[in-house]
Structure 1
Amino acid sequence: MPGQNSATASDYVFDNDGDHSSDQHRYLAQLLDPLTFERLALTGVEAGWNCLEVGAGGGSVALWLAERVAPGGRVLATDIKPGLIPSRPGLTVARHDIVADPLPVDAFDLIHARLVLSHLPQRRQVLRRLRAALRPGGWLQIDEIDITRWVAPPTLGGREGELYGAYIAAMTRVLGAAGSDPTWGGSAAREMAGAGLVDVDPVRWTEVWERGSAGLGLLISNSHHLEERLVEAGMTVRRLREVREVMSAPGFSAPSFEIHSILARRACDG
């Protein structure tokens, strides 16, 4: 299960200081960057733009933006624990809690947040803050997931299907207990329109994960990262070890969760 960004100091389940944080961000970048970059490119981001990357995690998106806004542009990459974000010319890294800390108003040509708002009970408040931080006509891109239809496939029967399904269910309980909503991606476009954004353009993407894929690598990494919480949610250390073996086995495949990427703008009249 993803968890890109430590965006707030609340009971966020993924810690950027954890032993598996670097692996987590590497798999997330491999899995999500192609879609994220394709969508960001549609904004026309170019030299001179002022951009904000919220909950920048490992920094792959912030680096991509910094390359495109140079020369003359600026990218502000924020995270509650920003230690994994590399330093580059034109890229400013800052510790920032998107729920509690102030943002400048009418300041950014483009704001991007990936796998951030679903972890925040205050997501509607944050959406309004992000809209206000855009200059009139500026772009907001939100990338999120929806696990509503994410289940063990019918072709995965017996012990393998039971273990994989139990792991998905336990991960869902862990995120819910921390105030996250891993189904929020499916309603994000509607929420963005409700926050006053216009020209809302959502896309939905899925794929099949096979052995060695970034998606399964992410799930295996998460099973280590959140092992204590997963045990509290009903798994056992033995069952976690077994489900890792299942996901690493030759021939294993399963559909991904849905990934939603939504572009929208602040109206030019403010």
Structure 2
Amino acid sequence: MARDARGARDARDQGYLLDNQQVEAGARFAALSELFDPWTFRHFETVGVAGGWRCWEAGAGGATVPEWLAARVGPAGHVVATDIDTSWMEGPSGAAAPFEVLRHDVGAGAPPPGGPFDLVHARLVLVHVADRERALRTMAASLRPGGWLIVEDADPALQPLICPDEYGPEQELANRLRRGFRALLRQRGADLAYGRRLPRSLREAGLADVRADAYFPLTSPACAVLERATVLQVRGRLVAEGLATDEEIDRHLANVAAGGLDLATSPMISAWGRRTRA
């Protein structure tokens, strides 16, 4: 059962475009896990996550990442998974998760209890946080000396197309709807060029040994699942803002279902650094 940590607020009060309380959120989390979990877990192995570590998974959304961490750190370690809406981290039939679940707003300025941490990780979170640099500094300050911060976030401005190979009307429609989606994100304060600044932000937060890389699939069945769930979540807003019509959205969803679109994601930039001072 989730409990509250300081700074928790309802997701609907945050202006977050992709509300976790919508039914499509489950499909989005599953698709994101299929697309990006192997990449994320590779970075965990790079920094050496091991038995006994204390870890904070910030803005976890779903359960797959904290479950992996809990299995790796074992009974001697501890994993805290936080989000402003923790409903997708609850186990089946109310079964207890193998990690601690806390309602917590990473942008509120205070870390959750349980630190200092050997690892703090946030994926596809800070781009949506109003004061993202403050949130990043909070995460960095919650590390023990020698602990690692890994931040992974999208950079839609770096590669803005959902169909990079725009060779026909179906692809053009998909990219036009994606431009509408980006416009909605900007209205809510998302920084669509944030990912590329992560290495600099980690250094400015006082971290050392900073490294970064990028990844984005160009086509995958999970990309189609993610696109369908995303469009369904924002459909009403696209229409209300005059960015698309219901007919265009229905046509695009039919194109996605037909399987003929090579759908990509925005590049996900992964950056990691180590705290060296107490």
Give yes or no for TM over 0.5: yes
Task: Go from structure 1 to structure 2 and tell me whether the alpha carbon gap of 1:8 and 1:125 turns closer, same or farther (over 3 Å shift).
Answer: farther
Cα distance between partner residues in 1 of 2:259 and 2:63:
32
Stretch moving more, 85-94 or 165-174:
85-94
Distance apart, 1:90 and its partner CA: 4.6
Stretch moving more, 199-208 or 98-107:
98-107
1:51 aligned onto 2:61: no
The correspondence for 1:144, drawn from 141, 147, 153, is 153
Distance apart, 1:96 and its partner CA: 0.6
Distance apart, 1:86 and its partner CA: 3.3
1:209 aligned onto 2:209: no
For each residue in 1:200-257, what CA deviation from the matched residue of structure 2 results, as whole angstroms up to 9, or x when unmatched?
11011122114xx112210111000111112234111111111112223243214432
**One-letter amino acid of the structure 1 residue matched with residue 154 of structure 2:** I
Aligned to 1:242: 251
The correspondence for 2:104, drawn from 87, 96, 118, is 96
The correspondence for 2:15, drawn from 2, 11, 28, is 11
Aligned to 1:108: 117
Contact 1:54–1:77 under 8 Å retained in 2? yes
**One-letter amino acid of the structure 1 residue matched with residue 215 of structure 2:** W
Report the TM-score when normalising by structure 1.
Answer: 0.90
Contact 1:113–1:141 under 8 Å retained in 2? yes
Cα distance between partner residues in 2 of 1:201 and 1:60:
24
Task: Go from structure 1 to structure 2 and tell me whether the alpha carbon gap of 1:26 and 1:254 turns closer, same or farther (over 3 Å shift).
Answer: closer
Aligned to 2:142: 133
**How many residue pairs are counted as aligned between the two chains?**
262
Task: Go from structure 1 to structure 2 and tell me whether the alpha carbon gap of 1:17 and 1:256 turns closer, same or farther (over 3 Å shift).
Answer: closer
**One-letter amino acid of the structure 2 residue matched with residue 167 of structure 1:** L
Cα distance between partner residues in 2 of 1:7 and 1:69:
30
Cα distance between partner residues in 1 of 2:12 and 2:131:
10
Contact 1:117–1:123 under 8 Å retained in 2? yes
1:171 aligned onto 2:175: no
Percent same amino acid at aligned positions?
33
Partner of 1:180, secondary structure, is: coil
Distance apart, 1:101 and its partner CA: 5.8
Distance apart, 1:146 and its partner CA: 1.1
Cα distance between partner residues in 2 of 1:129 and 1:253:
39
Distance apart, 1:105 and its partner CA: 9.0
Cα distance between partner residues in 1 of 2:164 and 2:89:
40
The correspondence for 2:210, drawn from 171, 181, 200, is 200
1:231 aligned onto 2:239: yes
Distance apart, 1:7 and its partner CA: 7.6
Aligned to 1:3: none
Contact 1:7–1:54 under 8 Å retained in 2? no
Aligned to 2:34: 30
Cα distance between partner residues in 2 of 1:54 and 1:209:
28
Aligned to 2:170: 160
Task: Go from structure 1 to structure 2 and tell me whether the alpha carbon gap of 1:248 and 1:130 turns closer, same or farther (over 3 Å shift).
Answer: same
Partner of 1:209, secondary structure, is: coil
Q: Which runs of 5+ in 1 are unaligned?
A: 1-5
Aligned to 2:266: 257
Distance apart, 1:21 and its partner CA: 1.2
Q: Which runs of 5+ in 2 are unaligned?
A: 1-9
Report the TM-score when normalising by structure 2.
Answer: 0.88
Cα distance between partner residues in 2 of 1:102 and 1:256:
32
